[in-house]
Structures are given as C-alpha cells and as structure tokens.
Structure 1
Amino acid sequence: MEAVYTSGIWMAESLQQRTRSHEKLWQVVTHMGDPKAAFLLVFPFTYFFSRRAGITVLWIAAISEWLNLVFKWFLFGERPFWWIGESGLFVNRQPEVYQFSSTCETGPGSPSGHAMVTGAVWWVVTSSLGSFLYSRTHSIVLSAVPYVLYVLLLIAVGISRVFILAHFPHQVIAGSITGVILGIVLSRRVPEGRPLLFFFGFSIGILIGSLMLQAGLQQLGIDLSWSIALAKKWCSHAEWVRLDTAPLSSLTRDCGALLGLGLAQYWKPGGWSLPWAPRALSLAITSMGLYHVNRLPLPVQPQGLFYGLVYFKFVIVPQIVMVWVPGLIHFFTHKKKKD
C-alpha cells in the first residue's frame, strides 16, 4: 500500500499546484458532498418535489453513512494529511501541500464517506429526474442528461477530497462505486408507510449494535480511536479538529434521522397535500429553519451530552421538513381558501 499512498500524495500535490486558484470552488464542492448536506439540503429539496423520493433520500443517506462507518472501522484507511508525517518516507523531499479548514476529519479514510453518501443519495435524485424527463419527452438523450451530471458530480466531489488532503484517490473511487451500488439496491425497498416500531427498532438496533461492535473490537485490542489521535497530532490548526467529524457523530446523526423519519410518518401518514406554490414556500421556510438548526452551537463536553444532542437534532430534522412547516403552510393556505 505504500506505493499507492505515495502516488496519491504526489497526485494531491500536483492537483493543489495546478488548481490552487480554484480553492474556494473545491471547498464548496466538498461541503456539497458532506453527508450532513444529504440530510439538511438534498432531503428537503427532493421531498417537496416528490414525497417518496424525499423519504428515499433520507433513508439511503442514513443507511449509507452508517455502513460507511462500519467499513471504516474494518478497513483502517489512512488519511493523506497525517500519513505524510507518519510514514517517514518524505525525509529527502517534503511534498508541498496545504491543509484547509475541512481537511482534518478524525475518522479513518477508507472508503470516502463524502463520495459514498453522495453516490448513494444523488442516484435517487438522478434516476427520479431521468424517469420524469423520459415520461414527459420520450427522449433518451434528454433523460440521459441527469446521469451525465451525476457522474460529473461524483468526479468533482472526489477531486475536492483529494485536493484538501482528506482522502487518497483510491478511497474516493471505492466510496463512489460503493455509493452507486447502495443507491441502486436500497432505492428498491423504501420504508414508506412502515410502523413507528420499525423505525424505533432500526434506530436503536444499529446504535446499540454499533456500540457493541466498537466495544468488541476494543476488547480484541483494536483501538478505534487511533485516527482521532493522528488527526490531532498532524492537523496544522487545532481548531480544525472538530467533534462533529468523529465516527460517533455520524452514528448518532444516522440513528436520529431514522427515528425522526418514523415519527414524521406516524404523526402525518401520507404527508400534507400541497399545491406547487405552497410547496415552494414550505421549501423556503424549511431551508431557513434547517440552516439555523444546523448552526446551533452544541457543548462538546461532556461528549455524551454532545452526541445525545446530535441525535435529538436529527430526530427533529424530518419533523420540520415533513410535518411542522408543511402543516403550518397548509393551515394558513387552507384557511385562506375557506375565507
């Protein structure tokens, strides 16, 4: 693997030197590929166009990110920003590379979570849009456009992750391929209309199961916090090492979103039926609400409280999107029609 890692470092150096003027673009792209964006951005935008597609996006985002965590625990992938120093292979010539505020993620590197979740979630959007265009135009060329854009998005997210030294090229390739496969497989079985007990059991099950797996691996002498120590050691700015990039943050986010999806369908089975104009208004208000929910500062100590609040925050997200905001809009628009 040393040869693969080394070639990846030189590739990242070349990429940074050739495209440094596009640094802000790569930062934006990497934020678009952040798994959190699937919950806070892609899910609400998709939901207000197609309820089933929105539920599918949220379901696949949670499952694919959780599977990514499990893969990382077993594959032990290095990250470029710490491997340069840890490898001891660059004594004669240090690569001229730079870190960024989104570089210092604390989980293992393989496969790329950004690429994997992007590949899975955007497959739902792409296939839905492609089917819609074909049903309206019967044009194979026009319906293929979303798939071309999908591939370009995966490439852009992968390049951005290599550019900021968060991943090696083979990690983003593995993440992208796995994400596409998950998107195709998971989109065939969507838990729309399932009882609340199903989601409660699923949420608590993968939470407890993952914690038991973590404890079991630690009992075998496998330290799952090894990557956190390396991130703190080699990150050029201590404040760039954030608790919300830790593996348990993604786990609690996924479990919270799954329970929230079940609660939202329990409170309002079938969702609110809104015309296009109220839907657009709902989307605008929802986007503002989720923006402020995401910006809420959470106490990082004690860590148990932090993870509990992350869980609760993502239980709320589906309520805002599927129940509270569209319900409020329905109340006022329905009342106005009656008047």
Structure 2
Amino acid sequence: MEAIKHLAEEAYNLTLNRELFINEWAQERLSFAEPLWRFLSVNLEPNNLYNFFIPLSVIFSHEILMHLLSAVTLVTTLNSFEKWIYQEMRPLWFLREQFANEKLSVKPQVALESHQLSCETSGGLPCAHSMTFTVFVLILASYFFVHCWDRLVSWRSPVYRFLMYPLIVGVVVCMWLSRLYLATEFLHQCILGSYFGIRALNFFEANIKYLYSRSRGYAVSIVCFLGGLALVVYFMKLSLDMDPHWSVRQAFKWCPEPTYMRHEASPIFQIVRDLGNLMGLALASPLYTLEMKQSTFWRRCRVLGILEFVNYGLRISTPKQYGRFVFLAWEFFRNAFHSLVLLKYVTKFY
C-alpha cells in the first residue's frame, strides 16, 4: 500500500512540474494580451457575476435571470464544497514549496511572475472562474440562439449552430489562458473546472422541473443541511489534524504582499456566499410559481438600478472590523436578500 501511495505522489508531483512549463509559456508568449487576461479574471469572477452580470439579465428576461441564478448558484456551491473538502496546490505555491524543500536536489527549471491577482486564498481545484464562466456562457448562448431561431428565419440554417460551438469554446479557452497567465491555476484545474460545470449544468437541466417545484420548507431544509455539512467537514478536518484554513495560510506564506489578498476569495466566505444565494432561492420557492410580469425596457432598468444601488451600498458597508462571525453573517443575509428580491419582488415594481 505504501508503495502505491508513493508511486501516486511521484506521478502527481511530476504532472504538476510538467504543467508549470505551461504557465511559464503563457506568461512568456501571451503578455501582449495582458489587459484581456486581467479583464477576464477580474470582471468575470463569480462575485461579479452575482453582483452585476446576472442581475443585468433581468432587463431582458426574468426567465433568463431565474435560469442563470439557479444554475450558477448550484455550480458555485458545488465548487465551494469541493474546495472546502479538498484544497489543491496552486502553481506559485507549488513552485515555491519546491524551491523551499531542502530534500529536493533538483529544483524546477521554471520562473513564474507573481501578480496581484495571483494571491488567491482558496484551493486551485476546480477552477471557480472556469466552472462558473462556462455555465454562464452556455446558458446565455443557448438563449441567444433560441431567440434568433424563433425570430429570424436565416438563423435556422445549421451553419449558425456549427459556428456557435467554436465561439463558445474559444471564449472559455480565453478564460483558461487568463488563469494560466496569472499563474493562479494549473491547466488540469481549468479543464476539470469547465468539465464539472458542464456536468452540473446537465444535471440541472435534466431535473429543472423537479427543482423548480420544490416547496419553500423543503428547499430551506436542504440549505440548512448543506450548512451543517460544511460544519461537519470543518470539525472532521480538525479531528484528523488537517488545517481547514490551509489554503489561506499558503497564501499568507507565499504572497509577496499580504494586502493583495481579499476576504471574498477565502473558502469559508465562498461557502457562506453560496449558501446565502441558495437561501434566497429557497425562500422564493417554489420557483415555477414566480410571476413573469412584462414591462417596458426603461422601467426594468430603473427598478434594477435602484436594487443594485442598494446592494452596492450593503456590500461596501460590510462590517469587517467586528470579527469573522459578524462579517460572514452579514454576507449571508445580504446575498440571501439580493437573490430573494431579484427572483420574487423585482417584478412587483414593474
């Protein structure tokens, strides 16, 4: 058994060492598009999808909003729990651990540049950016294609469907390259992130009628169960002498400037954020009964603008000076409030 374990560790370390060259290649050859890579990683991260891009979809259709918010929340929750249970190395952590390991006689022949965005505080597998962005793009592309198919006869040609797939793949690969360039993820973490996102989306689509028909009490109990599960994982790690905050300590250990690190990137914050969004969905359940009220474009813009102005005020007013519990409780209720109002009450002001 020990021999198998040792062989698996050797194969794993060899794979990560090989993948470091991919990150190095990205930084050397793709620096000409650095503004694009930064835009993708900063503006299209999961938090910004929740606070800007997903709410923006309500201007066009409440159905798109409900689909996006439900699917993306499912995917980010899965991602958060995967990272909470198993926290994998990131490229810069692994590279610096290799150089700091005195037992290694041969050091990696790789040099990676550290960026401000490289100071992530959660595990690397699966890549949250790739996972959520893949789902977000697939849902938007499907709605756009169906909309054009129904209204434009020329779009019913199979040529447009054929062209849509490489376009989607190209956009997702750009997100991968962004994460590789910033040395925040290994290639396998990006690929598996998109794969897990697609599988989770397939599960959601296959069971959408069942999920939308769940009662409020049932949905709230599921969210409470998931919260309890997160606590069970925390105390199990403590009992097994595993550090639940290992990834945060790695970030503090290897980040060149501690002020680069953000509370919003920590694994415990991500779980609380996702449970808050899930609670908003649960309180709005059953989702199939929600009113799809029509209104003018400008009226929808005004109502959404007021809501997002309030949400922005709540975000910048987050009390970070009163301890972790107050901070997390505030974020949980803010996200629950934001999701609930978006789904259930926005249409009442149309």
Give the partner amino acid of 2:123: P
* In structure 1, C-alpha distance between the alignment counterparts of 2:149 and 2:116, rounded to whole Å: 42
Q: Does 1:228 align with 2:243?
A: no
1:74-127 deviation per Cα after TM superposition (whole angstroms, max 9, x unaligned): 443110121111123697676432222221111111111111122223322222
Quick check: 17-26 or 302-311, which moved more? 17-26
Which of the numbers 181, 195, 198 marks the counterpart of 2:218?
198
Give the superposition deviation at 1:220: 2.5
* 8 Å CA contact retained: 1:130, 1:145: no
Q: Cα distance 1:77–1:105, how it changes in 2: closer, same or farther (>3 A)?
A: same
* 8 Å CA contact retained: 2:121, 2:251: yes
Give the superposition deviation at 1:301: 4.5
Q: Does 1:124 align with 2:145?
A: no
Give the superposition deviation at 1:252: 0.8
Q: Cα distance 1:90–1:66, how it changes in 2: closer, same or farther (>3 A)?
A: farther
Q: Tell me what 1:40 maps to.
A: 51
* 8 Å CA contact retained: 2:127, 2:185: yes
Quick check: 153-162 or 190-199, which moved more? 190-199
Give the superposition deviation at 1:174: 0.7
Quick check: 178-187 or 146-155, which moved more? 146-155
Q: Tell me what 2:67 maps to.
A: 56
> TM (normalized to structure 2)?
0.84
* 8 Å CA contact retained: 2:180, 2:187: yes
Q: Tell me what 2:275 maps to.
A: 255
Q: Does 1:174 align with 2:195?
A: no
Which of the numbers 18, 23, 26 marks the counterpart of 1:15?
26
Which of the numbers 178, 201, 207 marks the counterpart of 1:189?
207
Which of the numbers 254, 274, 277 marks the counterpart of 2:295?
274
Q: Tell me what 1:245 maps to.
A: 265
Q: Does 1:109 align with 2:121?
A: no
Give the superposition deviation at 1:149: 3.2
Q: Cα distance 1:312–1:18, how it changes in 2: closer, same or farther (>3 A)?
A: same
Q: Does 1:154 align with 2:175?
A: no
Give the superposition deviation at 1:144: 4.7
* 8 Å CA contact retained: 1:8, 1:169: yes
Q: Tell me what 2:149 maps to.
A: 134
Give the superposition deviation at 1:324: 5.2
Q: Cα distance 1:44–1:21, how it changes in 2: closer, same or farther (>3 A)?
A: same
Give the superposition deviation at 1:278: 2.2
Task: For residue 306 of structure 1, give the secondary structure of its aligned residue in structure 2.
Answer: helix
Give the superposition deviation at 1:160: 0.8
* 8 Å CA contact retained: 2:132, 2:197: yes
Quick check: 155-164 or 88-97, which moved more? 88-97
Q: Does 1:65 align with 2:76?
A: yes
Give the partner amino acid of 2:265: T
Quick check: 174-183 or 275-284, which moved more? 275-284
* In structure 1, C-alpha distance between the alignment counterparts of 2:69 and 2:105, rounded to whole Å: 43
Q: Tell me what 1:209 maps to.
A: 229
* In structure 2, C-alpha distance between the alignment counterparts of 1:233 and 1:29, rounded to whole Å: 26
Quick check: 22-31 or 119-128, which moved more? 119-128
Q: Which runs of 5+ in 1 are unaligned?
A: 331-339
Q: Tell me what 1:218 maps to.
A: 238
Q: Which runs of 5+ in 2 are unaligned?
A: 1-11
* 8 Å CA contact retained: 1:131, 1:143: no
Q: Tell me what 1:304 maps to.
A: 325
1:270-298 deviation per Cα after TM superposition (whole angstroms, max 9, x unaligned): 15432334234444444544444444443
Give the superposition deviation at 1:168: 0.5
Q: Tell me what 1:333 maps to.
A: none
Quick check: 158-167 or 208-217, which moved more? 208-217
Q: Percent identity at matched positions?
A: 22
* In structure 2, C-alpha distance between the alignment counterparts of 1:271 and 1:277, rounded to whole Å: 17
* 8 Å CA contact retained: 2:273, 2:331: yes
